[in-house]
């Protein structure tokens, strides 16, 4: 089967679907090609599906008007055609790569069997299929090992603990979420997980997955200690999906290289989202993807002035408790729920010599607010537990304007609620 469209988008994730929707609003309809059988969904909320807070349909995205379910296997740049595994050929005027990213699978002994299939009990955690498979395998009391203590690993460990699993988290770095958080905030994340019963090991490298009869039996650490395990979750980060771009001869670094108009090295092919490298940066976050989508939609609709010049992105993690549409909370006053946790981080969370640091912490309530000020500019911050000031802080950081000050410490940054 052969079809044609002025704009063809490869990828039915958040970026691809948002782009198609915006183009439709601007009168430039797009055809979206997605390989997953599920309705497009918000990948950011998969941990909430695993925790049982949301059913899969709750995180579904509005389906594009024109959606082809197929796996793209090649791009013919000369003919301007996309070839799919089922034999479908789709012609394009402009092609947009929104191929997202793949999970990083660590080089563990025993991880792969014949055909590069993961053993029974070992799960990646990136797609809806991954989530549903893992959710179906979780039982109260199941022994689960999460490999990786970044944002994804923390979310997965918390979700499994909420489901009643006995969870061990192994993090190779010296603290949790070290890329986003300062040491003080990392300690609060650690405390939160331990309050949920998660056993956390930092500076801990996993080296081996032991199986018997094709099923997981234990996970071995670098020091030789073996953790009995019914489940293992590989949450070691993600890597941009660039194979299609590379095979087509496009410029690829850590991601598909694009300019300020989101053009690849082929002027008829653009790219947005997790797969993109812009000005040397790969973001891998929702906010930059949506900013890229907004710019590209304007450009493809003929508004030539739009440009993408980068994103100053804020990481926000909201982990709600067991009270939910799937697990209703009991009536009466709401108790303090150890399964609830809010966190936001932006900019430079570690100060340089000469920077001012303003910090407020409440160990009893488990709240923490810290900002870094360089001269008269806010350059970064992290908040845990109470995010009432995050809106005002993020705006001050994004605008990079001089801060009002009376000569003393800028405590107003942490105490005035500017709206979240």
- What domains does the chain contain, in order, with CATH numbers? 2-102+239-300 (3.50.50.60), 105-236 (3.50.50.60), 315-415 (3.30.390.30)
Euclidean distance between CA atoms 293 and 61, whole angstroms: 15
Cite the DSSP H helix spans in 52-182. Answer: 128-137, 151-162
Enter the tokens of residue 52.
């049982």
Q: What is the pLDDT of residues 89-128, one digit of tens each?
A: 999 999 999 999 999 988 888 887 655 788 899 999 999 9
For residue 245, report the phi and psi dihedrals to the nearest 5 degrees. Answer: -65, -45
SS3 sequence of 126-142: CCHHHHHHHHHHCCCCC
Euclidean distance between CA atoms 319 and 341, whole angstroms: 5
CA diameter of the chain: 70
**Region for 20 from its dihedrals, namely left if φ exceeds 0, alpha if ψ lies in -120 to 50, beta otherwise:** alpha
Q: Specify whether the CB–CB gap between 403 and 377 falls below 8 A.
A: yes
Beta strands in 246-362 (DSSP E): 256-258, 269-271, 276-278, 314-319, 341-347, 356-362
Give the pLDDT score at 330: 34
Euclidean distance between CA atoms 43 and 40, whole angstroms: 9
Ordered DSSP codes for 10-39: E--SHHHHHHHHHHHHTT--EEEEE--SSP
Give Cα 329 to chain centroid, integer Å.
Answer: 28
Euclidean distance between CA atoms 31 and 340, whole angstroms: 40
Euclidean distance between CA atoms 399 and 417, whole angstroms: 18
Q: What is the pLDDT of residues 275-291, one digit of tens each?
A: 999 999 999 888 899 99
CB atoms inside a 10 Å sphere around CB 67: 18
Enter the tokens of residue 23.
């183009």
Give the pLDDT score at 222: 87
Low-confidence ranges of the chain (pLDDT < 50): 322-336, 418-420
Q: What is the pLDDT of residues 295-341, one digit of tens each?
A: 999 999 998 899 999 988 788 877 655 443 333 333 333 334 555 67
In this structure, what DSSP letter does residue 293 have? Answer: H
Instruction: Give the strand pairing for 30-34 and 2-10.
Output: parallel
Q: Specify whether the CB–CB gap between 20 and 9 falls below 8 A.
A: yes
Q: What is the pLDDT of residues 101-111, one digit of tens each?
A: 999 988 888 88
Give the pLDDT score at 304: 85
Instruction: Give the strand pairing for 199-201 and 166-170.
Output: parallel
Instruction: Give the strand pairing for 89-97 and 2-10.
Output: parallel
Sign for the pseudo-dihedral over CA of 394, 398, 401, 407: positive
User: Residue 345: which residues within 8 A CB-CB, separation 6 or more?
Assistant: 180, 181, 185, 314, 315, 380, 381, 382, 383
Enter the tokens of residue 392.
């005002």
The pTM for the full model equals: 0.86
Euclidean distance between CA atoms 186 and 173, whole angstroms: 12
Q: Specify whether the CB–CB gap between 158 and 194 falls below 8 A.
A: no
**Minimal CA–CA distance to 196: which of 317, 338, 55?**
338
3-class DSSP assignment, residue 260: coil
In what helix (H) or strand (E) does residue 6 lie, and over which residues does it extend? strand 2-10
Enter the tokens of residue 302.
């003929």
Give the pLDDT score at 396: 82
Q: In Å, what is the CA distance from 333 to each residue of 243, 329, 349?
A: 53, 10, 36
**Minimal CA–CA distance to 181: which of 378, 379, 345, 372?**
345
Euclidean distance between CA atoms 179 and 195, whole angstroms: 23
CB atoms inside a 10 Å sphere around CB 178: 16
């Amino acid at each position: 089967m052969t079809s044609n469209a002025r704009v063809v988008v490869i990828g039915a994730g958040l970026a691809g679907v948002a782009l198609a929707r915006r183009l439709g609003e601007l009168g430039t309809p797009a055809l979206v090609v997605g390989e997953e059988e599920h309705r497009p969904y918000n990948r950011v909320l998969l941990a909430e599906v695993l925790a049982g807070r949301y059913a899969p349909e709750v995180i579904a995205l509005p389906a594009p008007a024109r959606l082809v379910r197929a796996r793209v296997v090649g791009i013919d740049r000369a003919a301007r055609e996309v070839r799919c595994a089922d034999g479908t050929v789709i012609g394009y005027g402009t092609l947009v790569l929104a191929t997202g990213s793949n999970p990083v699978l660590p080089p563990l002994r025993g991880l792969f069997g014949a055909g590069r299939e993961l053993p029974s009990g070992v799960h990646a955690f990136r797609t809806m299929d991954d989530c549903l498979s893992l959710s179906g395998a979780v039982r109260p009391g199941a022994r689960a090992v999460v490999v990786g203590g970044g944002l994804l690993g923390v979310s997965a460990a918390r979700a499994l603990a909420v489901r009643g699993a006995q969870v061990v988290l192994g993090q190779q770095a010296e603290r949790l979420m070290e890329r986003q958080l300062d040491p003080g905030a990392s300690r609060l994340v650690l405390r939160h997980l331990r309050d949920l019963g998660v056993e956390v090991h930092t500076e801990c490298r996993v080296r081996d997955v032991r199986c018997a009869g094709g099923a997981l039996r234990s996970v071995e650490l670098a020091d030789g200690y073996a953790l009995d395990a019914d489940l293992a979750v590989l949450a070691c980060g993600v890597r941009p999906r660039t194979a299609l771009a590379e095979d087509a001869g496009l410029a690829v670094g850590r991601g598909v290289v694009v300019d300020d108009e989101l053009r690849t090295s082929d002027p008829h092919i653009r790219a947005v989202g997790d797969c993109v490298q812009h000005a040397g940066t790969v973001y891998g976050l929702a906010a930059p993807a949506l900013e890229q989508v907004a710019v590209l939609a304007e450009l493809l609709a003929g508004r030539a002035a739009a440009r993408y010049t980068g994103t100053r992105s804020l990481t926000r993690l909201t982990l709600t408790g067991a009270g939910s549409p799937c697990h209703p909370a009991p009536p009466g006053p709401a108790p303090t729920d150890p399964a609830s946790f809010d966190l936001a981080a932006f900019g430079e969370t570690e100060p340089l010599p000469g920077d001012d640091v303003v910090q407020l912490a409440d160990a009893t309530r488990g709240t923490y607010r810290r900002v870094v000020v360089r001269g008269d500019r806010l350059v970064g911050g992290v908040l845990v537990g109470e995010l009432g000031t995050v809106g005002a802080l993020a705006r001050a950081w994004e605008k990079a304007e001089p801060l009002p000050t009376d000569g003393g410490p800028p405590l107003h940054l942490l105490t005035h609620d500017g709206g979240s």
